[in-house]
Chains A and B, each alone.
Chain A
């Protein structure tokens, strides 16, 4: 089984930035977005994140799966929240009284009556939610495709994460292809013994139990190897001194500009929020 990362060098403008600067910027923008329920400001962030997405030079074919996943989850949440629950949505939405559709359904046998009341405010809130979720998704979808996995360890260390934790991350990335190969070898060996994982037979519990002949050998082999790795690292005095990294990251002026821009965005968002400009807004033209 080939387990490969989606990253490849695209020579895009986005890849010129230091990964640490990109992470800081993404997190600052994420917190900025979450402060707003006014669609006018959220549209600004949507344009900003889609602009970043465009700079990454990604193709629809590469990201199609990710976008389908996002759209499916978003649709499910927004539809359920707008049509069926909304019992805890933000205040302005709950106070909305401008009805678009209203009817009652009586559920037979139990006799429960379901009151359905769709208002202008709820519909507009659904649209606001979509814009917000798309902004956040566009912000982070680019990362797996435009950040070299070999740099993750050095990146997170450079962001202040403790040495051992950053090294754990680095080591995890290195183990992925090895364990992917071990998984394939185990699968082939089990198939040679009559094991058929693709056959969808039995109920849910049977299917999960059927995974044990795959999961257990791969896991136990990995654990046994782990003792050898730990001994080898101890023999090389791992953890006694500050670690150096093969990947050397260096900030440039434009990285500081990017981080500064992110800080400005968050600062401005906090100020606007404190003055009440971030609250949910419905255009007056939609209110009958």
Chain B
């Protein structure tokens, strides 16, 4: 299927954005039991690879919605309430990798995989930075505290998950796309 404009939001994008959001929410809740070894009460979240991958595969709008709405639904299901600035941060984590959507030719190529990994790091940095800086406005903490308590733990966790799982998802997607003729 030919790639449309980077900013297209048709039926296909609506469906994949919804699927990405629901997947992110379900996998976040399902993997809540995973804990970082020797770090009390800090869980890792493999599901962050979903908005990143959906951005790469279907465009920035799909990545943005998958991250934003997915985090929102995940908080709803978990009963944590609404943390809109963190929803925005997760949305940006999916949006930024989506900016290279049109340049991805074959998800199995080394060049595309390297490009994706770079955008995973940039997306996680931008998303978690925005969320952490927003926390300054809400909680009144200073920049150093925000970076130490919010940005660093979330950025490292999300980058590690993204770097490991996004290439695996890309290769699997390339295989099914090739077999199904999509």
B15 near A171 with CB under 8 A, answer yes
Residue from A172, A180, A208 within 8 A of B160 (CB atoms): A208
Known A176-B73, A208-B44, A223-B176: A66·B80 in contact at CB below 8 Å: yes
- Nearest chain A CB to B182 CB, angstrom units: 6
Residue-wise interface mask of A (222-242) relative to B, using a CB-CB cutoff of 8 A (1 in contact, 0 not): 111111011001100011000
Indicate if B103 sits at the interface (CB-CB under 8 A).
Answer: no
Q: Which residues of B contact A78 (CB under 8 A)?
A: 139, 141
Residues of B within 8 A of A207 (CB): 34, 44
Interface-central residue, A3, A143, A174, A233, by most chain B CB under 10 Å: A3
User: Among A1, A174, A175, A222, which residue has the most Cβ atoms of chain B within 10 A?
Assistant: A175
**Which residues of the partner chain A approach B47 to less than 8 Å between Cβ atoms?**
215
Q: Would A4 and B21 count as touching, CB distance under 8 A?
A: no
Q: Once the chains bind, are B23 and A149 in contact (CB under 8 Å)?
A: no
Asked if residues B26 and A179 are in contact (CB atoms below 8 Å), the reply is yes
Nearest 3 Cβ contacts at the A-B interface:
A88-B142, A175-B22, A171-B18
Q: Which residues of A contact B (CB under 8 A)?
A: 1, 3-6, 34, 37, 62-63, 65-66, 69-70, 72, 74, 76-78, 80-81, 84-90, 125, 128-129, 132-133, 136-137, 140-145, 149, 164-165, 167-169, 171-176, 178-180, 183, 198, 200, 203-205, 207-209, 211-212, 214-216, 218-220, 222-227, 229-230, 233-234, 238-239
What would 30 A/B residue contacts be, using CB atoms closer than 8 Å? Answer: A5-B77, A62-B79, A74-B139, A78-B141, A80-B148, A81-B142, A84-B145, A85-B142, A85-B148, A129-B139, A132-B140, A140-B82, A144-B82, A168-B17, A171-B15, A172-B22, A172-B70, A173-B73, A175-B22, A183-B27, A198-B33, A200-B35, A204-B36, A208-B46, A215-B165, A219-B169, A220-B172, A222-B22, A234-B11, A238-B14
